[in-house]
Amino acid sequence: MIRDGFDRLYIPGSSIKGAIRTAIAYNLLSKDQTKISTIESTLARKLGSIDKKKIANDLFMANLFSNFALIYQGQEVLGETSPQNTDVMRVVKISDSSPMILNGDYNQSIISEVVISSYFTQDEVNLAKVKNSPSNYVEMVHNVKAEFIFTLDKNDTEGMLSWFQHKDNIQFPQSIGAIIDICKKFAQAQWKHERDYWNSIGNSQNRNLDNIREFYSNETCPYDLRLGWATGMMGTTVDLLFSTGLRKNIRNTCCARPAGDYVAPKSRRIAIDEDGKIKYPLGWIKLEVL
């Protein structure tokens, strides 16, 4: 978590906006299987040699969000423009959240041990493997409730959104409601992936995953977005659009430490309760329009 100058916890607007950008990217790419296939083949061919910090931007993010002409009062803005100027996400404005004030069951600041999960296969059965050395104790907030302001600069023909015309005719969502729906669809894709993952792993080594499986018991995701460091690669990238084999290669190329023999998405993190039981997946939130 992060604190303001008065030591109050809050969620940065940039974190919320980043999660929304990823959801929009996922939605736009999911409509074009040809583009996905092109990205996959390029990644498979060049993954080891490309600057991993530029992979997403070079292959698709720049085209999705910055490949726009600016049309103002019927005239194209000429002269030199930067990707920052033509980034359509300029029209999406997200404030920092209000301070998260403790209120009954909400906004309880806790220090909890967070571990990285993986699994190994024994006798053709996937068994839980949890890395908790060195231990990672993190300040988090349980049952977050906070407000933020979400503005889309549209305003019919006068807003900034009307200035942006994509050079490949990609259609950016035209309302806040449409953006929230896109976030929900991306959340559902992540939810299904996580549900399948945890249901494919059995308990082992005193690692009981029943609480996690119970959390993901419903097929329909009850949340609208997933935020933060603990959401893993599936929550912060569009990797779910790619094949399992390519996802594994991306993970092993881009993560700082190799996974060794374990099938370990090294960014999937879960919290342990005060009794040492694996209990909480992190980062799921609900959105309510006030």
Instruction: Select from 207, 236, 232 the least CA-distant residue to 23.
Output: 236
Least confident of 162-171, 202-211, 256-265: 256-265
Is 160 in contact with 91 (CB distance < 8 Å)?
yes
Question: In a 3-state reduction of DSSP, which class is residue 59?
Answer: helix
Query: Please, what is the end-to-end C-alpha distance for the chain in angstroms?
Result: 24
Confidence of residue 221 (pLDDT cuts 50, 70, 90): very high
Would you state the pLDDT for residue 255?
A: 65
Instruction: Select from 97, 75, 73, 77 the least CA-distant residue to 86.
Output: 77
Burial (CB < 10 A; 0-12, 13-18, 19+), residue 173, is: buried
| Other beta carbons within 10 Å of 41 | 11
Least confident of 23-27, 71-75, 220-224, 258-262: 258-262
Confidence of residue 10 (pLDDT cuts 50, 70, 90): very high
Q: Is 60 exceeded by the pLDDT of residue 157?
A: no
What's 57's DSSP letter?
I
For range 156-174, the mean pLDDT: 81
Question: What percent of the chain has pLDDT above 70?
Answer: 87
- pTM for this model (two decimals): 0.88
Rounded Cα gap, residues 111 and 113, in angstroms: 7
Rounded Cα gap, residues 57 and 62, in angstroms: 5
Least confident of 35-44, 131-140, 244-253: 131-140
Rounded Cα gap, residues 244 and 157, in angstroms: 43
73 CB-side CA count, 13 A: 1
Token digits for 264?
A: 């370990």
Question: What percent of the chain has pLDDT above 90?
Answer: 34
- Identify the residue whose tokens are 């980043």: 18
Q: Is 60 exceeded by the pLDDT of residue 260?
A: no
How distant, in Å, are the alpha carbons of 206, 215, 285 from that of 225? 32, 16, 6
Token digits for 116?
A: 């990285």
Helix extents (H) in 149-231 = 176-199, 210-215
